[in-house]
Chains A and B, each alone.
Chain A
Amino acid sequence: MDILKVFLYILVYPGLLFLFVYSTFVEWVDRKLYAKFQNRMGPMHTGSHGLLQPIADFVKLMAKEDIVPRACDKGLFNAVPIFALAAVLTSGLLLPVWHFTKGIESATSFQGDIIVMAYLLALPTFAYFLAGWTSTSMYAMLGGVRVLTLLFAYEVPMFLAILSPAVMAGSWRLADIAAYFQAHPLHMLFNLIGFAVGVVALQAKLERVPFDIPHAETEVVGGAFTEYSGRKLAMFRLLADVQMVVGAGFIAALFLGGFPGGLIPGFIWFVIKTLAIVFILSAMRAVTARIRIDQMVAFSWQYLAPLALLQLVIVIFIKGYMP
């Protein structure tokens, strides 16, 4: 029975199938919201109100010709998208959505899974860099270097931000942190700064406007993905969507009290909370211009990192003075 559950976990929910379907849905929500902000309609033709458009795009891109540059390292070039997608899909398994193993630690929920999750979510960034590096095109190279520069800008504030709920709950396990905030909902208010920093850093991690610097088409064509086409590019596109879902779920589990109530209510909570975060991400995308890489680094270290530190200090004080 447990084996079956594990398979369900990996393949259906929250594993491969769910992540694929839900991430295309989230892409659709994102596109629709973005369109609404711009007085447009967004996708309309595939499925009801264009609901199936992201899947259609994915399938079409999968079927396109796949070109590998002659000068690049073929093994690495082919492996990078698979590797990155696998890392993000694995991180999805760590989301505390099924509480059937809440009491006991298991392969998908253990002390320190928050660190593993942050690590797995950081892996695609390195994959992007490798993709840019191995493409041997100057735009890809520039994009790859920008990916790394951006990483140094947002990763530290992100880690500092996720530290504070963990300190507050006194645990390194996502399920415990979520359970803590479910028990003390008002304590979420102490973490608002950290939540804001986390969302902004997530936007940067997802490389969306105003932080889409590494693949700004008007500056470096396609950035690290310039030479990618066909199914490998489709994998990168899917990866970005899955990363958005997992990232939003991660933030929701840390700052918004997770997804309580077992399978069905938990699922509903998951959808509500991730969509709320996606709404913020879309709005941010609609009302900002892309900033420059040097401005991004300055912004991170002048505002994001100090704010995250401030949040940590606040949490430590609260822990010290509150029973």
Chain B
Amino acid sequence: MTKQEILSLLKAKLGAGFIAHTEPIPDQLWVEVKPQASVQAVELLHRTTKARYLVSVGSDERELKKRFGVYHLFSFDKEHFFVTIDVSADPHQPVLPSITNVIAGANWSEREIRDLLGVQFEGHPDPRRLVLADDWPNEVYPLRRDFDYSSKPPSNPENAYPFKDNPPNTTVVAMGPYFPVFEEATYFRLYVEGEKVVDVDYRGFYAHRGIEKLGDASLTYNQIPFIAERICGICGFVHNVSFCKLVEHAAGIKVPRRADYIRTIMLELERIHSHALWLGVAGHIIGFDTVLMQTWRMREPIMWLCEKLTGNRKTYGMNLIGGVRRDITKAQVPEVRKKIDAMDKEWQAVLDAVKDDTTLRMRLEKVGILNREQSHEWAAVGPVARAADIDMDSRKDHPYCAYDAVDFKVITADTNDVWGRTVVRILETIESFKIVRQCLDALMELPEGDIITEIRDEIPAGRIAISAVEAPRGEDVHFLLTGGDNRPYRWRVRCPTYPNLPTVQVMVKGEQVADVPIILGSIDPCFSCTERMEVADVNTGKIRVYSQEELFNWTKRKA
């Protein structure tokens, strides 16, 4: 379906509800509609054209256009462009019709906009708090531009989170807020009958850090890539690339080809070590610790490689708007290739071992079903969607960096279950090895040192950009509206776990309690880890940091 066809469809069906349309950058169609027509517009895109819902972004534009803007973002994957439905809400009484009854996946977005900006959504099926803490005062909206980023409103201890009532004959099993499998705080409240899960309730966002607020209130374009990288401890580079792509897109900055290849290599290395990590954690969740130990052992050389290339095992700090900060020189290429080949060989052994393992199959097959329709409904992304036989991968659908120049397959499975997600991830890693090798070949061709474009002009205000980058966990979407003062006016991050986590509520219903951890694990929820240790002497207060060498020797030391 072309943009023209979509436009004529929307115009014909919405009639007077259609206001205007623009194409701010080539891969985007921006459609402004009246609030009362928004539900119909969204329904047309979601149901008739089968567009994939991404996220809804709220923006406080009272100083710009005397309105609250709400943008519903959609992706036409096979046609390689985004469509945005732009709805305005009254600056004094912001109320809009809810689209959650049409797209289940919009649930969180709308609640988040309500929490942070105070735009009410009429007819929302679950209008409880999502992002804000329980004791946050009512009617204080932290993402509004007149709310100072460093201010601290008084606590309101009377607010308590209203959990769902117990269904009859059930008991509550609490998984969270702190639970052995969850590396981060999250709370799944299971209503169980014996071992069977009847219903589930969720409360999360215990660690909301307000990074978006910092992005449009305190930091500048040069600083944001680094804080973006700190959004996630495992796939941070993805956020970093996402943000840089956004600004480059909005301002029309051309990145040197060599930088594109280097970014691609780092993204794929990140995917490799993330998938290895995931497989280990999945093994641990179902009590198969041998998988954990072996995959993490294989992963370690890749971490060392990353440290060699960037200076850090994780959180590389490689990106700036316009390019990368460090080159991967021609002299380094053979070593990278060697490490990749070694891991590739071991990974094939993992694939063979996992493929035929009886107990793994017993635990993973036909568990945590999310089929194609449900996946579309909840806008699931990444391996979760691909295991439901949806051929979506932003590396192919919205090519960025050097993905237009490399050859790889999008892995899908049609089993809809945890097993499918496992297989997709293992095979995807093998594709990653291929991509890295192709990028290394390209690095040998391109001239060394040409890795960053100098930016002389100011980034213009009022530009809009959307970027989708395929993180190991799924598609990572960033939205940007540029502003003055050398910083964004609104920067929205939608990490891949955001659409995937609500699908857990669908997947666990009717399953056994024992399967809940692995189902949750199968979406690969994000967590971070710190690897170096610092030893403080309590008596002298002296702090000593052990070097890599010392730690390594420690592991070798015999008692």
Contact = CB atoms under 8 A, between A and B. Distances in A.
Contacts of A294: 195, 512
Contact of B173 (A138, A290, A295): A138
Interface stretch (B76-84, B213-221, B287-295, B393-401): B287-295
Contact of B180 (A213, A221, A292): A221
A48 B558 CA distance: 9
A98 B512 CA distance: 48
A295 B290 contact: no
Interface string A283-299: 00011111111110000
A119 interface: no
Nearest to A45: B559
Contacts of B360: 289
A37 B290 contact: yes
Given A289-B360, A290-B363, A38 B289 contact: yes
Nearest to A210: B359
A215 to B, nearest CB: 10
A49 B558 CA distance: 7
B359 A38 contact: no
A204 B558 CA distance: 35
A213 B171 CA distance: 20
Interface string B159-187: 00000000000011110000111000000
A39 B363 contact: no
A293 B288 contact: no
B173 A39 contact: no
Interface residues of B toward A: which range? 20 to 34
B363 A217 contact: no
Given A219-B517, A289-B283, A291-B362, A48 B290 contact: no
A159 to B, nearest CB: 25
Interface in B501-527: 512-517
Interface in A50-87: 50
A39 B349 CA distance: 15
A218 B284 contact: yes
B179 A289 contact: no
B285 interface: yes
A46 B514 CA distance: 36
Contact of A48 (B291, B293, B297, B559): B559
Contacts of B458: none
Given A39-B294, A221-B180, A290 B559 contact: no
B181 A218 contact: yes
B288 A209 contact: yes
A289 B559 contact: no
B423 interface: no
A292 B515 contact: yes
Contacts of A139: 173
Interface string A178-204: 000000000000000000000000000
Interface centre among A212, A220, A288, A295 (most CB of B within 10 A): A288
Nearest to B513: A219
B297 A289 contact: no
A138 B513 contact: no
Interface string A30-45: 0000000111100011
A291 B288 contact: no
B286 interface: yes
A216 interface: yes
A218 B285 contact: yes
Contact of B514 (A48, A209, A292): A292
Nearest to A211: B287
Of B180, B285, B514, B517, most A-chain CB atoms within 10 Å: B514
Nearest to A298: B362
Given A47-B559, A209-B288, A293-B195, A39 B359 contact: no
B357 interface: yes
Interface in B500-554: 512-517
Contact of A221 (B179, B288, B297, B559): B179
A122 interface: no
B363 A289 contact: yes
A219 B514 contact: yes
B300 to A, nearest CB: 11
Contacts of B294: 38-39
Nearest to B281: A218
Interface string B18-59: 000000000000000000000000000000000000000000
B515 A212 contact: no
A223 B517 CA distance: 15
B44 to A, nearest CB: 44
B290 A287 contact: yes
Given A38-B293, A50-B559, A210-B287, A219 B516 contact: yes
A218 B287 contact: yes
A142 interface: yes
Nearest to B516: A219
Nearest to B358: A288
A295 B172 contact: no
B287 A216 contact: yes
A138 B363 contact: no
Contacts of B515: 292
B293 A289 contact: no
Nearest to B194: A145
B287 A39 contact: no
Contacts of A218: 180-181, 284-287, 517
A39 B297 contact: yes
Given A38-B289, A50-B559, A217-B180, A289 B357 contact: yes
A138 B172 contact: yes
B141 to A, nearest CB: 37
B288 A289 contact: yes
B514 A293 contact: yes
A43 B322 CA distance: 50
A295 B195 CA distance: 13
| Best-surrounded residue of B172, B283, B297, B359 (most CB of chain A within 10 A) | B359
A44 B288 CA distance: 23
A219 B362 CA distance: 17
A41 to B, nearest CB: 8
B29 to A, nearest CB: 45
B201 to A, nearest CB: 16
Interface in A124-163: 138-139, 142
Given A219-B517, A287-B290, A44 B359 contact: no
Contacts of B174: 138
Contact of A289 (B171, B173, B287, B517): B287
Given A44-B558, A289-B283, A290-B288, A216 B514 contact: yes
Interface in B127-177: 171-174
Interface in B409-424: none
Given A218-B285, A289-B283, A290-B287, A46 B559 contact: yes
Contacts of A138: 171-174
22 contacts: A38-B289, A38-B293, A40-B293, A44-B557, A46-B559, A47-B559, A48-B559, A50-B559, A138-B171, A138-B174, A139-B173, A218-B286, A219-B516, A221-B179, A289-B287, A289-B291, A290-B286, A291-B359, A291-B363, A293-B195, A294-B195, A294-B512
Interface of B: 171-174, 179-181, 195, 283-291, 293-294, 297, 357, 359-360, 362-363, 512-517, 557-559
Q: What are the 8 tightest A-B residue pairs by CB atom distance, in nearest-first order? A: A290-B287, A38-B293, A289-B288, A45-B559, A289-B359, A218-B181, A288-B359, A289-B286
Interface of A: 37-40, 44-50, 138-139, 142, 209-210, 212-213, 216-221, 286-295
